[in-house]
Chain A
Amino acid sequence: MHAHPARPVALALAGLTRRFGALAAVDGVTLDIAEGEFVTIVGPSGSGKSTLVRLLAGLEAPSAGRLLLRGRDITGLPANRRPTAMVFQSLALFDHRTVGQNIEFALKMKGVAPKPRRDRALELLRLVRLPEDYYGRPVTQCSGGERQRVAMARALASDPEILFLDEPLSAIDYRLRKTLEVELKELHQRTGKTFVYITHSLEEAMVMSDRIAVMRAGRFVQVGSPEEIYRRPVNRFVAAFMGEVNILAVEGGVLSGLGLAVPDAAGPFAVLRPEALRLDGGALGVEAEVAQTLLLGSRVQYHLRAGGQALIAEVPAGGRALLGPGDRARFGFDAADIAWVAE
């Protein structure tokens, strides 16, 4: 679990633990986050990711473990004395204030004079691509996407060393979320800051992150680049968390549901991505009957039955006529497409 070798460590988590009674919501988490890195912590609800980010921000104190910011121990420091900032899930904008007052809040607390405060707020409005005349507007009059940007600007106002983002896009509808994901990624590049992002959506994590940590029951199950997580999941949990996937049990070198022998079987379970199954080529293949056809735009998803085994295949939609329910076809794949997992 080492950070990018070329860059210094911005934040080091060493055995971070938070217990609530007998339950350890965060259970000995260790990770080095590099300067300027975009790290996403992803997990289902109840996995402890929200508690973890509260520990990182200083809103909660760990039961055990240490937290080092650029080598300095900040474990005992409360949130208001940490040079980090957080964007909250509910955004937590100050409803009775204007956009400008929201953005300036951290500077006001620091005792910065009104004029430089205002200059900084206008600079941040430009950074998050909001018009400057939003400065005097009450936040209650802003749309969902605008509130999102105000929250980002407010968190960035005091130039924090690290920005924590706790599912800030969860309450936003799909299309706007897609736009904001890209904007967030751009903002990360423009500011060059270290971002630690929390989400339950691995799809969201994929788009934005340099590195992803998959969390389950208070521990990191796997930490790696989006590609590693996608191509080489360490277990069925991570594989299934990525979205729809085929998980096949292996017995004696044979994919038991399909009755298909595979060379070099390296684990009790084979993970096969839907897009690995294709209609032409492949050293291995199965005869399957289409149960359902779902057109997803540029791709088409087939729900298949091969013997007793249900399979999902996703192929490009263009080129040939779609198969309908009841049609039979050979779906091929290569042994290299399989990710072997032990549990």
Chain B
Amino acid sequence: MSSEWPLWEVFIRGQHGLNHRHVGSLHAPDAELAIRHARDVYTRRNEGVSIWVVPSAQITASSPSEKGPLFEPANDKVYRHPTFYDIPDEVGHM
């Protein structure tokens, strides 16, 4: 029980041209085996063309209590979206 394998987070690129996406986690003794396990656990049905693994302990996450200060400032900046601007029909597609 003393030597539980560390936890790794797994990211898979589903198709060429897409980002790697977090799919889950797994235990493995080292990075090489983490990739092999990720292949067995997360790509049994052709789900991926590339795998990243990262030790879970190495991930720094924003804290849920910071949600307000971090993300609310974006709420009142509607002018960042193209739909904020009225373009007359005569101008055509923009």
Specify whether A and B are partners: no
